[in-house]
Amino acid sequence: MSATGIKDTQNQQSSPRIAGQRFAYASFHASKRIAQRTSLDILKLMSYLDADVCINIGYHAGMHRRHLLFYSAPDDTCFVAIQDPRYGKVVTVLPLEYHRRLAWAVSEEQCELAKQRYYAYIEAQEALQRLKSEKEYATAPKVKLDAKEQSLSIKYRSVTTTERTYKVLVQAIYISEDASSKKKSLFRLLVSYYIDDFQKSIKGQLSNPTLYEKIDSSIQKKRLFQGSVYALCFQNSKDKSVFYLLTLRHRNDAEWLTQDYYKQRRHMEQVLAPYQTSYLALPAPQSETFLPVS
């Protein structure tokens, strides 16, 4: 992309929002890319973008897409989040090499600035947390655990030398048309393990792109609107009290997207209503029998 296609976004008017209000949210596609390409929690990354723990490096001329450079400490590298500044929707997250091929190159100076901004934010958050902890400690009653209580607080994991398998039920948690939260089973999954740690085993599966393809396909087969799905639940079929919850977006975002979706759907039904009649119907397709290939 030529330099003329890159515009500075500092003078671009941002969407109005109340101080402290969450703005950024990840699309379903962006949620998959964040899980595949980074080691960051999705909601944690959204909070970083809202707190401006990133560098606005420009946008494509004629498109509502700003490119936000952020530093990921677990990966020790930078990524670019592409966001619609009107609604806060993050459409995807790109590694630097992908961004260079698809848009333009990111300089080392910009990466260093994004890294400095991240550590300045973390330092400020730690200072606030220390002040909060000191205040809570000063006002909290002092409780001393005996040796037995301390031993009960230690959690152990069993280790096996033979490969075992979790039978996992994958469920979508979504907003229905009446704005209530509902859960729908998508499919069952077999997850192998040696160390009996359900959450760690599930997290190890989240970098597998075929898993997300299967989730996408199952959501379509179940006739769910993807924007209404705000979390995925991986539940141990043997012990239903054991599960891992993967949050894709905030519930409020899913509720807003679902309301907008059904509003558009009702409008289309009203537009098409005059053209519907019980006296006209398309002929049913004839059944076809495929002959075996000789």
The predicted structure's pLDDT at residue 78: 97
The highest-confidence range among 10-19, 65-74, 189-198, 224-233, by mean pLDDT, is 65-74
For helices 209-221 and 28-37, give the axis angle rounded to 10 degrees. Answer: 160
Q: Whose CA is closest to 81, among 35, 253, 90?
A: 90
Q: What is the CA radius of gyration of the chain?
A: 24
Q: What is the pLDDT of residues 19-69, one digit of tens each?
A: 344 678 888 899 889 999 999 998 899 999 999 999 999 987 778 899 999
- pTM across the whole model: 0.55
Q: What is the largest CA-CA distance in the chain?
A: 85
Measured in whole angstroms, how far is the alpha carbon of residue 156 from the centre of its chain? 30
Q: What is the pLDDT of residues 266-282, one digit of tens each?
A: 888 888 888 766 665 55
Distance CA 27, CA 67 (A): 15
* β-pairing verdict for 89-95 and 25-26: parallel
Whether the per-residue pLDDT at 8 is higher than 90: the answer is no
- Sign of torsion over alpha carbons 70, 86, 177, 280: negative
The predicted structure's pLDDT at residue 289: 44
Instruction: With beta carbons less than 8 A apart as the criterion, state whether 89 and 27 touch.
Output: yes
